[in-house]
Amino acid sequence: MPNKKFIIAFAAFCVFAFLPALPAIAQYVESPKIISAGENFFSGRGISAKGTSLPGLQITASVKDDKDNLIYFIKTKADNSGNWSAVFSQPLESGAYYVVATAQDSNGFESSPTMFGPINIKGPFALIIAIFSALVIILLFGFVGGWYFSKWMESKRCRRIIMSQRDAITSYNVIKKDAERALKTLSSKDFSEGRVNEMEFFLKRINNNLEKMNKYVVEGIKIIGKYDIMSKIYKTKK
């Protein structure tokens, strides 16, 4: 039967030997999440990253290349909502990169790493091409929009011309009929009170229609001229 002293000594040895490892085994820190990461043109072709974790944890975000070489790292802290962000302003050469993040609690226990990538950093030539393409698209949309606007203005002018012609023809026909009736009454040489009143009625209506015709024609010309001026201004700017 084993000696009691030996058993006690062995138990004490096991306790003191494994005691330092017990907190590490018991303590678990949740790994942070990387929601997004990509090239940041406003930081000199660097990288920016955003993520979430438990509130108050210290986040270590680092950038590595495709050969697992550490480029640089940033320490930040998750806010009360668990959100964190990191901006790596150092310019990077063209290539593929990865963002790695770990979380650490107040006791110094660290989580397992989380990786995001690859993030492809393109050279300045690609940026120039992208800007040039955007400018071409903007100019194309401007040209197409201007062409449609010009056509719309022309259509409005044509419709206004047709309306003015219609009103002028209608007024002309009414004036012509009234003038014929007035002449007929005058040629009859019947100057009775009824005939005179009838001729006076036709002359007044002719006068009213002439005023309406003047209004339609003059205002129509003004509106047509307005569209012409706007169209000329647009063509001048073009």
Kindly state the DSSP code that residue 110 receives in the 8-state scheme: B
Whole-angstrom CA distances from 94 to 63, 86, 129, 225 are 14, 20, 15, 58
Residue 118, preceding peptide bond in cis (omega within 30° of 0): yes
pTM: 0.44
For residue 112, the number of C-alpha atoms closer than 13 Å in the C-beta half-sphere is 1
Mean per-residue pLDDT for 147-166?
A: 75
Read off the pLDDT of residues 175-229 as tens digits, 9 standing for 90 and up.
777 777 777 766 766 667 777 777 777 778 777 777 777 766 666 666 655 555 4
**Tokens of residue 196, six digits:** 């005179």
Query: Where do the structural domains in the chain lie, given as residue ranges?
Result: 4-122, 128-237
The fourth-level CATH superfamily of domain 4-122 is Immunoglobulins (2.60.40.10)
